[in-house]
Structure 1
Amino acid sequence: MVLRFEDKEYVLEKELIEIDETTAIPEEYDAYKKHYDDATKVACIMVATMSPKLQRYYEDYWPFNMNKDLMKKYHKRACQETFEVFKSPMACKMKDGDFVVSHVQRMQHYIERLVKINVNFDEELAIDMVLNLLPNCCGQFILIYHLSNTEQTLAQLHNLLQTTEAGLKGKSISSTTTSALVLAIR
């Protein structure tokens, strides 16, 4: 964020190439000098935010090379983390007898974790995931929900399910609950 604010992000993507100061034209020298100064500041910021072990390792790196090396070392781990976080909600199928509200809250938590690790997740996909992981007894509710053509957010769906479930005085999902859910959507 600091780099973006200070317009210095380019030093992570553009390698600093040494120039011959004696033969360089003034514009080339000025561009090199600006890049050199910006890269020096960015390198200091990057190293200052690292653990002492990484500081010692990267203290002589330019930002472009540091970024490239860090991506090579940690990108695979980040991909594995994304996979594990994405896999969690998919294995979270709600069982007959469970409460809808707790299921939706659990799904919202998983979706928030995915958003935090920069997985692009639109509201419609999140709603579809929640609905897909409801038990079979909610099939009529899901059908009516999709046929109603009402644009709702995940929070609104959660409130709808919570209101319906509260109206049934805490009973678990059953065919009676499904009928009540269908009425709530209408």
Structure 2
Amino acid sequence: MAANTNTLSLRSVLEKDKLNGLNFLDWFRNLRIVLKQERKLYVIEQPVPNEPSTNASRADRDAYRKHFDDMVDVGCLMLATMNPELQKQHEDMVAYEMIEHLKEHQGQARQERFDISKALFQCKLAEGSPVGPHVLKMIGYIESLSKLGFPLSQELATDVVLQSLPDSYSQFFLNFNMNEIDKTLPQLL
């Protein structure tokens, strides 16, 4: 009976913090802990073996049946701890396929975040160029990072935009900082 209570208490970690697309690494770490405790970690680490032939040994058929049953249990657990959008995307996959798909998606999101942050931090307004389109482009990058789950605070976002301006704006910086102007990014336009 105690093992059952431990299982339920560990599973509650996953239920409390459902996968939403932005918290994959934390969710995956918790999933691995739960599955390790349940002795089902192998289900997400190995693809489903081929079904044994009808003349296979009883041990082979039992091993396949256990893997299949564990795969169903783990797949249901994974789906139950995802938000509805992710459930719809993964409901026709087995546990191993879900993990592989989520890892691939996580890698793509990581690359997208890297590309956007690189573009944001490399933005520099050329001397004599209009400020409006430059700031709008930077706001777009900042909003994109936020949508990926990496929002910049208002102060940091403002600092990044101000640092992208050429030295000819030094009087504006001085006035901005001396008067403790508190503007949102669109208000900087």
Q: Shorter-normalised TM-score: what interval?
A: 0.5 to 0.7
Quote the offset at 1:126 in angstroms. Answer: 0.8
Structure 2: distance between partners of 1:129 and 1:111:
10
Describe the shift of the 1:97–1:71 C-alpha distance in structure 2 as closer, same or farther (beyond 3 A): same
Q: Say if 2:139 is the partner of 1:108.
A: yes
User: Distance between the aligned counterparts of 1:74 and 1:40, measured in 2?
Assistant: 16
Pair 1:38–1:125, CA change in 2 (3 A): same
Matches within 5 A, 1:31-42: 39=77, 42=80
Residue in structure 1 matched with residue 162 of structure 2 by the alignment: 131
1:49 corresponds to 2:50: no
Counterpart in 2 of 1:83? 114
- Report the alpha carbon displacement of residue 142 of structure 1 after superposing the two structures with TM: 0.9
The residue aligned with 1:27 is none
Partners of 1:126 and 1:98 in 2: how far apart?
A: 21
**Secondary structure at 1:49's aligned position in 2?**
helix
8 A contact 1:123–1:153 mirrored in 2: yes
Partner SS, residue 119 of structure 1: coil
SS for the counterpart of 2:182 is: coil
Q: Any stretches of 5+ residues in structure 1 without a counterpart?
A: 1-5, 19-34, 159-186
Alignment RMSD (CA, Å): 3.6
Q: Secondary structure at the match of 1:105?
A: helix
Aligned partner of 1:149 among 176, 180, 186: 180
Q: For the structure 1 residues 67 and 143, does the alpha-carbon distance in structure 2 shift closer, same or farther, using more than 3 Å as the test?
A: farther
Task: Name the TM-score, length of structure 2 as normaliser.
Answer: 0.54
Give the whole-Å Cα distance in 1 for the aligned partners of 2:79 and 2:106.
24
Question: How far apart in 2 are the matches of 1:138 and 1:40?
Answer: 53
Percent of paired sites with the same residue: 27
Q: Which runs of 4+ in 1 moved over 6 A?
A: 35-38
SS in 1 for 2:180: coil
Alpha-carbon distance in structure 2 between the residues aligned to 1:115 and 1:69: 25
CA contact (8 A) 1:8 1:38 kept: no
The amino acid of 1:9's aligned partner reads: K
Give the alignment's TM-score, normalised by structure 1: 0.54
1:93 is matched with: 124
Residues 116 and 144 in structure 2, CA contact (< 8 A), matched pair in contact too? yes
Q: Which has the larger radius of gyration?
A: 1
> Which of the residues 3, 8, 18 maps onto 1:9?
18
Q: Deviations over 1:48-79 (max 9, x none)?
A: 424xxx94xx3x32xxx666444433333322
Aligned length: 129
- AA aligned to 1:79 is R
Q: Compared with structure 1, are the counterparts of its residues 81 and 132 closer, same or farther at alpha carbon in structure 2 (3 Å cutoff)?
A: same
Gaps of 5+ in 2: 1-14, 20-26, 40-72
